[in-house]
Structure 1
Amino acid sequence: MGTNKRYPHLSGQRREEKELRDARTHGTLRSLSSVQLRLDARPITIVPAGVKLWALAWLQFGYVDVQAVVQVMRWTADAVGVQLDVDGETLRCWLWQGACQRLENRTDAW
């Protein structure tokens, strides 16, 4: 079996989608609490409309950790607000900045 030269990232993307579907069976997507975020005391930067920022992030569904490509929507000095689609459903959460690594392109992680 050869490699897909036209869409070289496709196998990695499909593997990630399967891992996310499997992880969802272990619980809901966990997010930082309002106490941890301290949004009342810290400024939030929101990504402008039309701009897409991508990151490779560690997510937690119940007790299962999975690494996936996410879209960065906003951030504070300590946390990042991200979203991703799993089976047509948009999921959103806040993560510590240390759990995210910025990507130049969405396909860089695959």
Structure 2
Amino acid sequence: MGTSKRLAPYYDMQAQHRAILAAAKAGPLQSLTDRELALREQPLTIYPHPLASVSAWVRFGPEAIRVDAKLARSTPLAAGIVFRAGDQTFRCWVWGNAVCRRDDGAAR
């Protein structure tokens, strides 16, 4: 029996949401500290409508997982991202080199 190529992105998204929720049980979502962000010394860009789709590494407790997210804020060194899993919305700051732009055009 074949697979549905039309529904493949949906199944991928569902699998990622399950993985995120499982990782969330390992501990709280970690974010950069105020000291690491250095917002008093670094310029901050706030995107009113997060449009850029990115892939980012985040950490729940000791467990690292790659997520599809939206870029909401940025500094020269860090990125503020937003991502969803199930009915939960997660927000955190990660180092800029933990983020790469997704070029697949998928809006999730």
Give the TM-score normalised by structure 1: 0.88
Conserved 8 A contact 2:53-2:107: no
Structure 1 residue aligned with 2:3: 3
Mapped partners of 2:15, 2:21: distance in 1: 10
Structure 2 residue aligned with 1:38: 38
Mapped partners of 2:4, 2:35: distance in 1: 46
After superposition, what is the alpha-carbon deviation per residue over 1:42-85, rounded to whole angstroms, capped at 9, x for unaligned? 11111133x51110111100000111101110100000000111
Mapped partners of 1:69, 1:10: distance in 2: 13
2:94 partner SS: strand
Question: Once the two structures are aligned, what percentage of the paired residues are identical?
Answer: 29
Mapped partners of 1:15, 1:82: distance in 2: 20
Mapped partners of 1:17, 1:93: distance in 2: 17
Give the count of matched residue pairs.
107
Conserved 8 A contact 2:23-2:60: yes
Mapped partners of 1:7, 1:87: distance in 2: 18
2:23 partner SS: helix
After TM superposition, list the pairs within 5 Å mapping 1:43-82 onto structure 2: 43-49=43-49, 52-82=51-81
Q: CA RMSD in A?
A: 1.7
Q: Runs of at least 4 residues of structure 1 off by over 6 A?
A: none
After TM superposition, list the pairs within 5 Å mapping 1:78-97 onto structure 2: 78-97=77-96
Conserved 8 A contact 1:69-1:106: no
The structural deviation recorded for 1:92 is: 0.6
The structural deviation recorded for 1:107 is: 5.8
Conserved 8 A contact 2:46-2:73: yes
Q: Is 1:103 paired with 2:102?
A: yes
Conserved 8 A contact 2:18-2:85: no
